[in-house]
Amino acid sequence: AGFCFGVNNAVNQVYKLLDEGNKVCTLGPIIHNPQVVDELTARGVCIVEDPADTPADHVLVIRSHGVPGSVYDTIREKNIPHCDATCPFVAKIHRIAATHSAAGATVLIAGDPTHPEVLGIRGHCQGAEYCFHDEAELEKLLLSHPEWDTAPCIMVAQTTFNKTIWKKCENYLKKVCTNALVF
């Protein structure tokens, strides 16, 4: 079926780095596609789970899912050459979450709490953040925090989140939280 824009961009950045003669490693698999990962491995691309494990002569590629802010801190502290291939749509969600959480808003994230993209979003929040899968989980979450009906909160989603479920969650949130912003 092909790749989404962000994944295609990340994979192309890895190929470009390789074609320029760079040694490359990716922070986690660049894509959830074993054939592409195998092809890149055959071209010498290695996968690391921690930026600190990047070999000294390699460029580290941050995959399209993005990473928490703390990972960028590690990359800067250790002066690791890197290429940030975070999908621009994901990076926008990071900026929204960071900005609003720094201003005191609670961040509600629609998505899979174990998915790398959601972990990245959570890692850009400076205050309270919660993740939910569907309208029922959102309802349970909101009922357990009645103060959110007037306190600032925002809702964002993993980019691959189901649009129908998102719309139901958005409608429910707007009924319950008068100050909620939805992005």
Instruction: Supply the pTM of this predicted model.
Output: 0.89
- DSSP collapsed to 3 states, the chain: CCCCHHHHHHHHHHHHHHHCCCEEEEECCCCCCHHHHHHHHHCCCEEECCHHHCCCCEEEEECCCCCCHHHHHHHHHCCCCEEECCCHHHHHHHHHHHHHHHCCCEEEEECCCCCHHHHHHHCCCCCCEEEECCHHHHHHHHHCCHHHHCCCEEEEECCCCCHHHHHHHHHHHHHHCCCEEEC
Q: pLDDT tens digit string along 86-116?
A: 999 999 999 999 999 999 999 999 999 999 9
Residues with a known catalytic role: 117
pLDDT, one tens digit per residue, over 117-164 is 999 999 999 999 999 999 999 999 999 988 877 789 999 999 999 999
Angstrom distances, CA of residue 148 to CA of 93, 98, 111, 174: 21, 19, 20, 11
CA distance linking residue 52 with residue 70, whole number of Å: 12
Average pLDDT of the residues in 64-68: 94
Q: Which two tokens stand for residue 24?
A: 């490359």
Burial class (CB in 10 A: 0-12, 13-18, 19+), 139: middle
Q: Which of 133, 21, 10, 140 is nearest to 65 (CA)?
A: 10
